[in-house]
Structure 1
Amino acid sequence: MLSQTKSDVTSIFRERHSVRYFDPSYSLSEKEIKDLLKLAGSAPSSWNLQHWKFVVINTAEAKERLLPIASNQKQVVDASVTIAVLGDLEANRNAEAVYRPIVQAGLEDTYAGYASYPIMIGQIESAYGHAAPTYRRDEAIRNASLAAMQLMLAAKAKGFDSGPMVGFNADAFVEEFNVPPRYVPILLIAIGKALKPARPTTRFSTEQTIVWNGFDPDAAS
């Protein structure tokens, strides 16, 4: 049973491809969308602050509003749903809500390896208050991207297809969909049933992508 499970997981990774053409007649239910986003939301994040927000675009009216913003990529209309993954620039504000249950359970002294809850909160606030100006944005993008990839894998595991898109006007999205300044758009992910197979892609060999124990200072770049 264990080997079969491993095989299934490997297949999900191998079979996930970025789809451009979706069956416009196929529709995901609200429950199916929520199930996918629940799995996406189990992705790891710094301090477990969960630096993501998902804007669900699944009505015909919302899709038409998104279409010009997404460079008229037709998949945002044909896919059952497009998820806009946003990164949280103020994820430190999530700390109390995330850790309050831990504190109430009396487990804060052993949670996340910190000596105490105040020490952990102090470190979070220090990082967000005194780090370089790019820190908040970098953290938002890094952590929300983990959730985005997990969403695409979850979609494939559930028998759906997906296609990520970065070719969209983030400023226009913010304006059209009333995104608060706390959030930054990271990417769009169309999800549904493929109408055509994803186009074949070539990949670097594993050897071309690995550097063992650091770069050789004498090697050419």
Structure 2
Amino acid sequence: MHKLPLKIPGLNKFIDHTFLSPLATAADIKRLCEEAIEYGFYAVCVPPYFVPKAHQALHDHAVKVATVIGYPYGYSETSIKVAEARRSLDEGADELDIVINISAVKSGDWNYVRTEIEQMATTVRLKGKVCKLILEISVMTDEELERLVELCNKVRPNYVKTSSGTQGGATVEQIRYLRANLDSEIRIKASGGIRTRTAAAELLEAGADRIGTSSGLTIIQ
């Protein structure tokens, strides 16, 4: 668990500088990448359409390129999500934030959920890249979350992520639950509604390893 004061040296290195608006333009992504370079954010997180542009802008820099798969609701067929993942990786993505099939969870189709998570994690692993599974915790029951955590412990993605940012935000309680129940090598990304330095610091102290936010500049300044 991170023991960090509110004035966190190197806070920028925990942040995925994010812009996933459906109104995003090439100019927005160019600015996002420039900000990430200037302020030393860990990664940018952009729509799949903009992965090549972000990769080109950042290929001489340490900033990673992340994108989303199955965003925002996760209910595309698994084969479509796998194809989307492969395309994004081929175009230069370093990290994939993958929305699980929420509808399958709510339907109790756990075989489907398990198979999809395994296929997605394997697709990313074979490319030597980073897989983050978005669990959309705020819409899950306690039982559903428990089963998802069990599956993640078996599949072992690099990260479990709290939210797509469309169905509720990350909370300290969510992070504490994940850290207490996930295997220690599975890291945690907090995402959704994180707009202040205080909120980011509290989530990191609770056990988060990464912060996904569109308010990165506000948080570090």
Instruction: Name which structure has the greater RCO, CA cutoff 8 Å, separation 6+.
Output: 1
Q: Which has the larger radius of gyration?
A: 1
Q: Same fold (TM over 0.5)?
A: no
| Range class of TM-score, shorter chain | under 0.3
Q: TM-score scaled to structure 2, two decimals? A: 0.24
